């Protein structure tokens, strides 16, 4: 089908200059096979894989060797988790049992990560005992660790022994001046070292650890917490430096600083970035570096697909009652992984063909817009508007469709029907979709339909069970044909 060229309206420049989208999958096509093999079923390292494959964390690491101003020890590590106490800190033995139980019951779980609630490498015995046993007893599970980096250089040798080929280092700065504003102290050589001096040691250890991991052929992802007014102007430099040293992916996450979490930043009123500020920074870094945009800032005991938490199904008392035949489970896992891989390969092929067709068609001159999508995985539009716990946000433009971020439904409320100011959960969810021109879901009820329309967001239930990117592009074209996308002065993004 030929696309109509609507008019001469200037195109608002999208952050993406590529022919289709800025997803890691397009970059993935150019990766060597050895790296592709490492990331193709890792839900964090591959944006595509996160629709299909799950991860789990085991909370075996309670202690930490530094203090971050965005962390309160009562809560999960903010490096890799949303604030919220871990339900259970596990022993290595309990962690292994839990992993086996999850692997048998959720065959899509391909990655086991240790990410807290403190720093895994500040708890080396517990962390390495867990990894050692799992690498022997469940060799089909990829092992992954996330660290603040202070103890990393001393741990690299041990990490490489346990077949851990994914390491995340949280690097918030490369300048001790800035570091002193984020880290009040570190614990180093049995002493507490404060301010710039402590930050300098931490930065040096992080950079040294990064270089050592790369030298060992271990894939490194760098996480950074974006703190407006503190390191936001500095993170592009961080991105450039870590890329030059060989980091594979950069994940810039928004600071979470609710006063009720009792963190220094929360109490001091330090704000987190708006979605718009976050996207601008990610876009500005993306020229230099592969950017991760689908991070869910998971709990240190998260289980399931990114964005879902099935931890309650695998509490210690429930695991005790489970009969697990891991050999049989491994066979089943192999078959399921093979089927998912085949589906992903065929989708990738289809996508490549669509990109080619798209290139050959006359270019639209319409503006880029954001659309929200309700999905529970498999890359399909398969969730009812009212059941969505989160929405994935895509940008559609004449260049194609690209994933931007995710936004929680009910993000201002814990699930009561209303908050203090009388705003309903539905109203809050719709407010959270501000800036989107449409929401695609499997179905939408009458009341939300009217409220969405009143908010200027077109509800769309016509693409149920269709692949997300195709559906988003189809809706974009329909809107273009209907002349709804010609106002180039209208802002593409509005902060929620």
Interface positions with ligand SF4 (CB under 6 A): 64, 66-68, 71, 77-79, 118-119, 148
Measured from the CB atom, the residue of 173 and 475 that comes closer to ligand SF4 is 173
Measured from the CB atom, the residue of 77 and 249 that comes closer to ligand SF4 is 77
Told to check if 297 binds ligand CLF by CB under 6 A, we report: yes
Measured from the CB atom, the residue of 107 and 459 that comes closer to ligand CLF is 107
Contacts for 227 with CB less than 8 Å, ≥ 6 apart: 70, 172, 182, 255, 265, 270, 272
The entry of ligand SF4, ligand CLF, none near residue 68 (CB within 5 to 8 angstroms by kind) is ligand SF4
| List 152, 220, 235, 298, residue binding ligand CLF (CB under 6 A) | 298
The entry of ligand SF4, ligand CLF, none near residue 234 (CB within 5 to 8 angstroms by kind) is none
Task: Please report how close the Cβ of residue 111 comes to ligand CLF at its closest, in angstroms.
Answer: 5
Beta carbons of 316 and 88 less than 8 angstroms apart: yes
Told to check if 46 binds ligand CLF by CB under 6 A, we report: no
Beta carbons of 326 and 100 less than 8 angstroms apart: yes
C-alpha R_g of the chain = 23
Task: Please report how close the Cβ of residue 119 comes to ligand SF4 at its closest, in angstroms.
Answer: 5
CA distances from 423 to 426, 427, 438, 448 (A): 8, 6, 22, 14
* Residues composing the chain: 496
Q: Could you tell me where the DSSP H helices lie in 87-234?
A: 92-105, 124-137, 152-161, 176-182, 195-215
Measured from the CB atom, the residue of 80 and 469 that comes closer to ligand CLF is 80
Size of the site for ligand CLF (CB under 6 A): 17
- 115/134 Cα distance (integer angstroms): 16
| Helices 275-285 and 235-244, packing angle to 10 deg | 30
- 464/384 Cα distance (integer angstroms): 9
Q: Which stretch binds ligand CLF (CB under 6 A): 269-277, 281-289, 294-302, 428-436?
A: 294-302
Measured from the CB atom, the residue of 237 and 308 that comes closer to ligand CLF is 308
Told to check if 55 binds ligand CLF by CB under 6 A, we report: yes
Told to check if 144 binds ligand CLF by CB under 6 A, we report: yes
Pattern 235-274, ligand CLF, x by CB under 6 A: ----------------x-----------------------
* Residue 91 DSSP SS3: coil
Task: Please report how close the Cβ of residue 123 comes to ligand SF4 at its closest, in angstroms.
Answer: 11
Judged on CB neighbours under 10 Å (0-12, 13-18, 19+), 328 is exposed
Measured from the CB atom, the residue of 179 and 368 that comes closer to ligand SF4 is 179
Task: Please report how close the Cβ of residue 23 comes to ligand CLF at its closest, in angstroms.
Answer: 16
* Residue 176 CB coordination number (10 Å): 19
Told to check if 122 binds ligand CLF by CB under 6 A, we report: no
Beta carbons of 123 and 151 less than 8 angstroms apart: no
β-pairing verdict for 109-114 and 54-57: parallel
Measured from the CB atom, the residue of 234 and 296 that comes closer to ligand CLF is 296
Question: What does DSSP assign to residue 361?
Answer: S
Task: Please report how close the Cβ of residue 356 comes to ligand CLF at its closest, in angstroms.
Answer: 31
| List 20, 23, 40, 168, residue binding ligand CLF (CB under 6 A) | 168
Contacts for 114 with CB less than 8 Å, ≥ 6 apart: 57, 58, 60, 61, 120, 127, 130, 131, 144, 145, 146
The entry of ligand CLF, ligand SF4, none near residue 46 (CB within 5 to 8 angstroms by kind) is none
Task: Please report how close the Cβ of residue 272 comes to ligand SF4 at its closest, in angstroms.
Answer: 15
Binding site for ligand CLF (CB under 6 A): 44, 55, 57, 80, 111, 113, 115, 144, 146, 166, 168, 251, 295-298, 306
């Amino acid at each position: 089908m030929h696309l109509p060229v609507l008019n001469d309206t200037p195109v608002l420049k999208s952050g993406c200059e590529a022919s289709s989208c800025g997803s890691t999958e397009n970059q993935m096509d150019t990766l060597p096979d050895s790296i592709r093999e490492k990331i193709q079923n890792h839900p964090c390292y591959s944006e595509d894989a996160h629709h299909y494959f799950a991860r789990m964390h085991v909370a075996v690491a309670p202690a930490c060797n530094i203090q971050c101003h965005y962390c309160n020890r009562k809560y999960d590590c903010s490096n890799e988790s949303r604030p919220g106490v871990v339900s259970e800190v596990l022993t290595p033995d309990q962690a292994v049992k839990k992993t086996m139980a999850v692997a048998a019951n959720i065959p899509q779980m391909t990655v086991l990560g240790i990410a807290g609630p403190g720093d895994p490498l500040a708890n080396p015995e517990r962390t390495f005992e867990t990894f050692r046993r799992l690498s022997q007893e469940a060799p089909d599970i990829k092992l992954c660790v996330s660290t603040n980096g202070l103890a990393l250089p001393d741990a690299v040798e041990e990490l490489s022994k346990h077949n851990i080929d994914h390491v995340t280092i949280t690097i918030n700065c490369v300048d001790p001046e800035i570091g002193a504003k984020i880290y009040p102290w570190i614990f180093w050589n049995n002493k507490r070292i404060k301010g710039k001096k402590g930050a300098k040691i931490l930065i040096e250890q992080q950079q040294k650890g990064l270089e050592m991991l790369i030298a060992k052929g271990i894939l490194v992802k760098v996480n950074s917490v974006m703190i407006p007014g503190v390191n936001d102007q500095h993170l592009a430099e961080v991105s450039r430096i870590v890329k030059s040293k060989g980091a594979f992916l950069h994940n810039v996450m928004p600071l979470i600083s609710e006063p009720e979490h009792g963190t220094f930043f929360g109490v001091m009123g330090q704000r987190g970035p708006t979605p718009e500020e976050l996207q601008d920074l990610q876009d500005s870094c993306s020229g230099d570096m592969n950017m991760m945009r689908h991070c869910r800032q998971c709990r240190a005991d998260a289980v399931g697909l990114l964005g879902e938490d099935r931890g309650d199904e695998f509490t210690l008392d429930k695991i005790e009652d489970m009969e697990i035949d891991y050999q049989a489970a491994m066979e089943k896992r192999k078959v399921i992984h093979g089927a998912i891989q085949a589906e992903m390969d065929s989708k990738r092929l289809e996508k490549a063909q669509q990109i080619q067709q798209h290139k050959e068609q006359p270019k639209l001159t319409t503006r880029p817009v954001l659309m929200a999508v309700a999905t529970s995985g498999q890359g399909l539009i398969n969730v009812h508007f009212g059941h969505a716990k989160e929405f994935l946000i895509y940008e559609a433009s004449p260049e194609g469709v690209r994933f931007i971020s995710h936004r929680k439904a009910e993000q201002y409320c814990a699930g009561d029907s209303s908050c203090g100011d009388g705003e309903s959960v539905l109203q809050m969810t719709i407010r959270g979709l501000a800036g989107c021109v449409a929401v695609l879901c499997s179905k939408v009820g009458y009341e939300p339909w009217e409220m969405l329309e009143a908010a200027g967001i077109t509800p769309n239930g016509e693409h149920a069970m269709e692949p997300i990117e195709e559906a988003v592009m189809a809706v974009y074209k329909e809107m273009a044909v209907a002349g709804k996308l010609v106002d180039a002065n209208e802002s593409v993004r509005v902060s929620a």
